[in-house]
Amino acid sequence: MTYLDPDSEGTLEANTIGLFQDLGWGAADCYHETFGTGSLLGRETSEQVVLERQLRAALLKLNPGISPLAIDLAAEELIKDRSVLSPVRANQDIYKLLRDGVRVPIRRDDDQESIEVVRVIDWDEPRNNDFFLASQFWISGDYGRKRADLVGFVNGLPLVFIELKASHKSLENAYKYNLSDYRTTIPQIFWHNALIILSNGSKSRVGSMTAGWEHFAEWKKIDDEGEEGLVSLETIIRGVCQPSRLLDLVENFTLYSEAEGETTKLLAKNHQFLGVNRAIEATEKIKDNQGKLGVFWHTQGSGKSFSMVFFSQKVLRKLPGNWTFVIVTDREDLDGQIYRNFTSTGAVLEDEKSVRAQSAEHLKTLLNSEDHRYLFTLIQKFRTDVGETYPKLSDRSDIIVITDEAHRSQYDQFALNMRNALPNAAFIGFTGTPLMAGEERTKQVFGDYVSIYNFKQSIDDGNTVPLYYENRIPELQLTNPNLTDDMAGIIDSAELDEDQEQKIEREFSREYQLITREDRLERIAEDIVAHFMGRGVLAKAMVISIDKATAVRMYNKVQKHWRTAIERLQKELNAADSADRPEVEKRLRFFQETDTAVVVSQSQNEIEEFKKKGLDIAAHRKRMVKEDLEKKFKKSDDPLRIVFVCAMWITGFDVPSCSTIYLDKPMKNHTLMQTIARANRVWREKQNGLIVDYVGIFRNLQKALAIYGTTKGGAKQGELPIKDKLELVKLLRQAIQETAVFCRDRGVDVEAIRDSSGFQREKLKDDAVATFVIDDKTRRRFMESAGYVEKLFKSLLPDPAANEFGAIRKVISVIAEKIRSEIPPADISEVMEEVAELLDKSVSTEGYVIRPSATAQNYVDLSKIDFEALREKFEKGRKPIEVQKLRGQIAQK
């Protein structure tokens, strides 16, 4: 009997095979597979990835009565070489055949041609399909021969690919090295692929064949989102490979999205799969719930827009009826965005004019006289005068109204109108924020929550990054109690027209003038430039101003300070030594290439109106008209890296590479929460998003969080969508302390290295390297610790608080760099980017007019807020002095 190490990859593989067999899969060890006549799997060569024998048997079983010729043609279409296509195009072609069947032309006896559709998979009855798991499956390609750990076949087609690692091996390495190598060497194994699972037993992730590492996700829950959730290989296999779930995931939760000229395959995440299926269950009970399908709350950045597509597409495929979906938003730009989301995935094929209702009468025609699966309209189309009853547009019972952000204030006043217009329709509301006080009418239209996926869950699952709040209010301005809720309420609307802007100036002249005074804007502009250029992660940013004119003013001021900063950086390059020069050149080139733009809505006579204020909007308007600024800003590698806005792009706008929001506009409630979420998307090395507050939105943030913390389904204490940036300081200090202890236990004193110089410093560093490379375990542990310190340090930049850690962090970084350069590692668990010494110099405690933020004086620990007490105080209404008292109490905790 062969002994298997209980912690080995072999044991993990054996346990996995056993679990698949328990789920109804057949299995075989293919390590010694032979080819040709009498072969185990019927393959002629190891280049073949389709089990043709099983495929033909399944096609015959699923298509009784179809001619043998049609079966042969269908099999050939599924098996044929697609190497001339890109892997994702090949995969997309085959997916359509799997989902819809293979259409084959057949010449009839009367010499006429007819089309027969050959089913490839029985989506409704899993037992009618053949599920087979091959272990140690050999595959040959143009560049070599590889052996896959596990490949799952459905009807002879390789839909599931599993890469296993021993428990002590890095899971990310399975992606970076093994999977990447397979994609290059044996690309044909992914032509038919539905999903890929990576696991080392304790950690497991699932993703599509095009997904980057950051989009491989855990699968913690199997049957219901109310489960506690467990990260394990058993959970992920039961969750996605149990036959009925696998078929559901492949048929109904797979999309191909066209963006930035590339095709990406999207596989639903765990929360989308469970949430959408709950919405489907509600739709199946449409008579019982009287068309109130519920509120679908999935936090911003967690894929809510794609969940809409998954939901509607599954309804169309699986539920009988001639369904039409009416997608309702409250802004023209959002209406266009959501239309493009549906078209980019192929859900909508009709041109925009055909499906976007221009008026109530047009919507009536589209619903009753034409046949459409999707229609798009604005909530304002349901406007009536006071006391007027909205006319009926359609009495069809197969209409489902999907509203985006269903609980905004204007939805309440239009809710009854929508019901009157479509009395027999069903309603479901998709939102990125929970229902708040005063939004009870939302439930009257949509029902209660049908699915909840809150901000903490999203961060814990890695579907969004944490958000940190940084207070950088200019000292000349008070800390904000004078900016009343009334002011935030007026400018909280999605788009300000000229009358509204003038109303602000009339009714809040003191506060408005305070925010827009020239010296204040000048200092903020200078700070934005210093902050942006000092960040560790070179990502994109948004500057949000109180109105259009201020956005243009801020743009002009930033340009002036930007030129000055470039000149300083050029002088630094001229003075740099040979070691520093490459990195300084790199950063200088990045900032020289950086493009900036103003993006504001157009208004009548705006050129003249801006001229009266000493501003020129004409050049900006030309760019907005002639260039696709939205596409440029969304494209991560485009040099358009900073945009200046006031209302556009702050909600419903997805730019993963945006990491910083410079906020200089009073906001509250949903608009505030949605705006700060622009920075929470996952992207490359981005560890967190940062909200830089210049106007003092913290009181309204507290108020919103109080509601978040007490709403059904909302966060519990400590489960907040943003964290104080002071938390980064604490985490970095702790990480450095733990690294120093680890080093000290092995005879390496990093503080002594920090304090040394010359030849002695070099000797101590060399001794440290020799100590840490003594074995793989020690080296891996040090490199992991050093990598964590580096990431936290970069996330903290350019905050002056980083100065405290600069010298010791540099010692740790240099030792790690020497290990990487001199000792090629056998198993790298963290591959970090080179960080220039320039970053050490980019933080300064001198010269800031705006007070450094990472201090107890400027920070509030949000996790210590008593939400119930906070809510009660806000409900009673506090005077400004009470706000200040509360702030002081929290800050001292």
Query: In the structure encoding, which two tokens stand for residue 741, read together?
Result: 């202890």
pLDDT at 4: 56
Across the beta sheet with 131-141, the strand order is: 26-29, 131-141, 144-154, 157-164, 195-199, 204-207
CA distances from 123 to 101, 295, 815, 833 (A): 11, 28, 56, 45
Residue 145 main-chain phi, psi, to 5 deg? -120, 130
Measured between alpha carbons, how far is 887 from 891 in angstroms, rounded to an integer?
Answer: 6
Could you please state the CATH topology (level 3) that the domain comprising 480-723 is classified under: Rossmann fold (3.40.50)
Measured between alpha carbons, how far is 140 from 158 in angstroms, rounded to an integer?
Answer: 15
Residue 344 main-chain phi, psi, to 5 deg? -65, -25
Cβ–Cβ < 8 Å for 743, 769: no
At 699, the amino acid letter reads R
Helix residue spans in 638-697 (DSSP H): 669-676
Q: DSSP code of 657?
A: T
Measured between alpha carbons, how far is 308 from 272 in angstroms, rounded to an integer?
Answer: 10
Q: Which ranges of the chain have pLDDT less than 70?
A: 1-7, 385-387, 406-413, 415, 436-441, 475-510, 699, 701-723, 798, 822-893
pLDDT at 822: 66
Structural domain boundaries of the chain?
9-49+126-249, 268-453, 480-723, 728-841
pLDDT at 722: 63
Query: In the structure encoding, which two tokens stand for residue 232, read together?
Result: 């394990």
Query: In the structure encoding, which two tokens stand for residue 387, read together?
Result: 């006391």
Cβ–Cβ < 8 Å for 357, 381: yes
pLDDT at 707: 54
CATH topology identical between 268-453 and 480-723: yes
What is the maximal distance between C-alpha atoms in the chain? 95
As to burial, measured by CB atoms within 10 angstroms (0-12 exposed, 13-18 middle, 19+ buried), residue 519 is exposed
pLDDT at 13: 94
> Could you give the 3-state DSSP secondary structure of residue 648?
coil
Measured between alpha carbons, how far is 374 from 324 in angstroms, rounded to an integer?
Answer: 6
Measured between alpha carbons, how far is 349 from 369 in angstroms, rounded to an integer?
Answer: 19
Number of Cβ atoms within 10 Å of the Cβ of 271: 26
> May I ask the CATH architecture of the domain 268-453?
3-Layer(aba) Sandwich (3.40)
Dihedral (Cα; 656, 657, 659, 660), 10-degree rounding: -110
pLDDT at 697: 79
pLDDT at 777: 86
Query: In the structure encoding, which two tokens stand for residue 628, read together?
Result: 């696709």
Q: Domain 9-49+126-249 carries which CATH code?
A: 3.90.1570.50
> Could you give the 3-state DSSP secondary structure of residue 135?
strand
Torsion over CA: 6, 8, 12, 18 (sign): negative
Cβ–Cβ < 8 Å for 225, 453: yes
Cβ–Cβ < 8 Å for 42, 50: no
Residue 295 main-chain phi, psi, to 5 deg? -105, 125
pLDDT at 829: 30
- Considering just the CA atoms, what is the radius of gyration of the chain in Å? 30
Query: In the structure encoding, which two tokens stand for residue 871, read together?
Result: 């809510």
- Burial letters for 836-849: b for 16+ Cβ neighbours within 10 Å, e otherwise? bbbbbebbeeeebe
> Could you give the 3-state DSSP secondary structure of residue 266?
strand
Report pTM: 0.79
**Kind and range of the H or E run holding 445:** helix 440-446
pLDDT at 111: 76
As to burial, measured by CB atoms within 10 angstroms (0-12 exposed, 13-18 middle, 19+ buried), residue 140 is middle
Cβ–Cβ < 8 Å for 94, 203: no
Query: In the structure encoding, which two tokens stand for residue 751, read together?
Result: 């503080």
pLDDT digits (tens, 9 = 90+) for 384-402: 765 677 889 999 999 999 9
Cβ–Cβ < 8 Å for 652, 336: no
Cβ–Cβ < 8 Å for 786, 719: no
Cβ–Cβ < 8 Å for 367, 387: no
pLDDT digits (tens, 9 = 90+) for 489-514: 545 543 455 555 555 555 555 677 78
Question: 3-state secondary structure string, 747-761?
Answer: CCCHHHHHHCCHHHH
Measured between alpha carbons, how far is 382 from 355 in angstroms, rounded to an integer?
Answer: 17
Strand spans (E) along 181-253: 195-199, 204-207
pLDDT at 223: 94
Measured between alpha carbons, how far is 303 from 291 in angstroms, rounded to an integer?
Answer: 24
pLDDT at 482: 44
**CA neighbor of 190 nearest in space, from 162, 209, 211, 164:** 209
Cβ–Cβ < 8 Å for 662, 563: no
Helix residue spans in 39-102 (DSSP H): 52-62, 68-79, 87-100
Measured between alpha carbons, how far is 580 from 758 in angstroms, rounded to an integer?
Answer: 18
Dihedral (Cα; 816, 819, 821, 827), 10-degree rounding: -100
CA distances from 62 to 73, 128, 157 (A): 15, 8, 15
Number of Cβ atoms within 10 Å of the Cβ of 888: 10
Tell me: cis bond preceding 798? Omega within 30 of 0 counts: yes
